[in-house]
Chain A
Amino acid sequence: MDKTITYPLQIGPTHPAFKEPVRFSFKVEGERVAGVDIDLGYTHRAIEVISKERNFIQTIYLLERICGICSVSHPMAYCMAVEDASGIEVPPRARYIRTIIGELERMHSHLLWAGVAAHEIGFDTLFLYTWNIREKVLDCLEQFTGNRVNYAMLTIGGVRRDLTDDLIPVIEQTLEYYLEVYQRTSEILLDDQSIRYRCEGTGILTYDQAVALCAVGPTARASGLAKDVRVDYPMLAYPDMDWLKPITPLDIGKEPAGDVYDRMVVRVLELKQSVDIIRFCLDNLPEGPIASINGSIKIINKLKKVQGEGIGRYEAPRGEVAHYDILDMSECPVQMKVKAPTYSNAFAWVPMLQGSEIADIPIVIASIDPCIACADRMTILRDDGATETLNAEYLHSLSVNKMKEVKSRCSG
């Protein structure tokens, strides 16, 4: 029997393992994956186009809804991009408050991921446990911002609600709770034998592959690639923290293998790191205003007189999110581009899945914490149902032409 038969296996667009629609076409030899093809584009909502018809303030709330989990990360990157273009300063207190919300969001996102990963490998008790302890940070966020998700906290040039003195003990209590459960949670997630059976050695992304495929966030860090926008790029309150460094599996004395287990290690350690960051922010919270311009109308009026472009980068729980905005004397962004972390990490799926077992597919796909809704930016529809493969040169020429078109529309 030297002749192996490959057969196709479609997973998706809807499948119990996926929380969002995405389609994978596998070529399978027995239980082994021989070929992978990824097909994104099932949740395209034309957010970038819609944003052209919304003013700068409305766009914030639109972008919060790109993704339910990264509902701070996207507006954060957008606000930074607009602030970069217009030169609006963010007061120190607002930068600290933004950091606190961002880190609280990171905690709940990582706990949510741990639960989803546990469910993918059939460990429902752990799934319910992590989601149960996640409620605490959601409650804290609700008390702080008024919502469990989609916090509506950010505005251009600051934040909308202050962190009052009576809220500080609430956040401190939450942090206290997580330090208490951290020991147990990390023990279950990292030492449980049946989890190690499933996660160790599966979905390997080597250091070189991570560099070549531009992986970001925990996915890259688990492969030993120490990159973290919070450390590499000056933003928010992070420059004040000299001790901050990207977390890799080396922090627990483990050589990074780039497998699913390492991604778990990085996320569990980042839970602790987030607690430390929020502690630091609460201890060093500066006094002062929470926004440099008060009132949406004033902000829009100021931005209406601005011409230029700006880039905002933020380390979302899944990795780097970058927004690019062009402002051109109008009350709406002339052009915007969202680069979501899943957009970078999706390509890492191919080497991860190549040669793995069918049983590994759900956990490997979940291991980069995909947010399909974030990544879907373009869909090509053909009336006759024909498909067309777009190659790199074509896409590049498309971008060049688009840029020319946008520049010609901008006055001057």
Chain B
Amino acid sequence: MQWLIYIFLIPMVVLIGGGIIGLYAKGVDRKFAAYYQSRIGPPLRQPFYDIGKLMQKQTIIPENAVGWIFSGAPFVALASSVILLVYILVPYFAWIGDFNFFFSKSGDIILILYLLMIPSIALVAGGFASGSPYATLGAQREMVILMSTELPLAVTAVTFAWRLSHVAPGASHFSLVTMSFHPLWSGMGPFGILGGMLLALSIAVVIPAELAKIPFDQAEAETEIAEGLLAEYSGKYLAFYQIADGVKSLAVISLAVILFFPNGFVQMTGYRIAPAGYDITLLLDVVIFMVKVFLVYFVSVTTVRIAMARLKISQVAKLFLVTITVMCLAGYVLITLDPVIRTL
């Protein structure tokens, strides 16, 4: 019976916690961007005010929209984002904190890659169903972005799994926990490090595309297609999308942190902190993790989005399908070759 409680309780906790942290991350992002643009910027709590306001507003369903898809899509987006975050964060913290329960063995990278697509697919379905030409255009663009970022992500996942099959032959190679247990950088030669850096760089480019931030916000391009996918959404549904976006940002960035910088306090220092008999190492780890998340968010989202113009959708497809995929494959080859070269 205990697993039943876990199944219902943990997603609830993650929804509330992830929503709050994700929205605060948005606020921090806006504040930093404002600083760079010599503005004052909104208060950190602005995303919460926005959602509070949207919740009170009238929710309009367009006349020629497909009602049930239109109104179902925001819930699917939010639910899948939360599940995604559960499968990314809970096994990781279970591993860090040395717990052993229902979620600690579940969740592998293939599942996460598929879950990662669901919020976007929900957005696309909602866009197509809203019956507005702008939303249709946005949905088409979102599909292109979705498909072109898939290949780099898949190559990255395969690279990690391949490496685990060498480093830890017994463990399950696609599990995120195993990946955290054997960080990419440990026991690597210069070739492997270079390959890992290529992978990290390509994931850093994929992150803004997953989060629909400039230069990859074609699906919502404000000055081109008037918020595109979200053109017809209002009120509660828009608020749900915004929460889902916050949760998904946190999930995507957490995934990057877990893949590339997984070490917690114990792994870094080898000590546990336990003043007066209370073990607060896990608390410390949460703080360290949050700092990493905000740093990655800042580097790969905020600084990029203030320093670039929006690309065209054809340029995006070319960038991901050619440049980034080649970078990923190069990283894959380098990491594969690393053990061979070191034995020479």
B-binding residues in A (CB < 8 A)? 7-10, 15-17, 30-31, 118-126, 128-129, 132, 192, 194-195, 197-198, 357-362
Contacts and interface: CB of A to CB of B under 8 A. Distances in A.
A197 B315 CA distance: 9
A359 B309 contact: no
B27 to A, nearest CB: 17
B221 interface: yes
A357 B221 contact: no
B224 A362 contact: yes
B137 interface: yes
B306 A7 contact: no
A122 B217 contact: yes
B110 to A, nearest CB: 32
B57 interface: no
B223 A16 contact: yes
B314 interface: yes
A122 B216 CA distance: 10
A119 B227 CA distance: 14
B311 A31 contact: no
B308 A359 contact: no
Contacts of A194: 215, 308-309, 311
Given A16-B222, A198-B311, A357-B314, A122 B215 contact: yes
Given A16-B222, A123-B308, A358-B137, A128 B37 contact: yes
Given A16-B223, A120-B223, A10 B133 contact: yes
B37 A198 contact: no
A397 B315 CA distance: 49
B154 to A, nearest CB: 26
Nearest to B36: A125
Contact of B221 (A30, A195, A359): A359
A118 B309 contact: yes
B310 to A, nearest CB: 3
Interface in B217-234: 217-218, 221-227
24 contacts: A7-B133, A30-B140, A31-B137, A121-B223, A122-B217, A122-B222, A124-B214, A124-B306, A125-B306, A125-B307, A126-B309, A194-B215, A194-B311, A197-B315, A198-B309, A198-B311, A198-B312, A357-B313, A357-B314, A358-B137, A359-B310, A359-B313, A360-B312, A362-B223
A358 B37 contact: no
A122 B225 CA distance: 12
B38 interface: yes
Interface residues of B, number: 28
B39 interface: yes
A80 B239 CA distance: 57
Interface of B: 36-39, 133, 137, 140, 214-215, 217-218, 221-227, 306-315
A357 B225 CA distance: 12
A128 B306 CA distance: 11
Given A16-B226, A123-B309, 4 more contacts: A8-B133, A121-B309, A198-B311, A362-B224
Nearest to A119: B223
Contact of B38 (A120, A126, A132, A359): A132
A194 B53 CA distance: 35
Contacts of B38: 128-129, 132
Contacts of A125: 36-37, 306-307
Contacts of B313: 31, 357, 359
B305 to A, nearest CB: 9
Contact of B314 (A7, A31, A118): A31
User: Which of A10, A118, A123, A361 has the most CB atoms of chain B within a 10 A radius of its CB?
Assistant: A123
B133 A9 contact: yes
B217 A359 contact: no
Contacts of B306: 124-125
User: Which of B39, B221, B224 has the most CB atoms of chain A within a 10 A radius of its CB?
Assistant: B224
A122 B310 contact: yes
Nearest to B39: A128
User: Which of B36, B227, B312 has the most CB atoms of chain A within a 10 A radius of its CB?
Assistant: B312
A17 B309 contact: no
Contacts of A359: 218, 221, 224, 310, 312-313
B142 to A, nearest CB: 13
Contacts of A124: 37, 214, 306
A8 B134 CA distance: 11
Contact of B309 (A15, A122, A132, A357): A122
Contacts of A17: 223-224
A122 B37 contact: no
Contacts of A197: 309, 311-312, 315
User: Which of A8, A118, A120, A121 has the most CB atoms of chain B within a 10 A radius of its CB?
Assistant: A121
Contacts of B308: 122-123, 194
A122 B218 CA distance: 10
> 4 closest A-B pairs (Cβ-Cβ)?
A122-B310, A123-B309, A121-B309, A194-B309
A37 to B, nearest CB: 16
Contacts of B222: 16, 122
User: Which of B36, B227, B308, B309 has the most CB atoms of chain A within a 10 A radius of its CB?
Assistant: B309
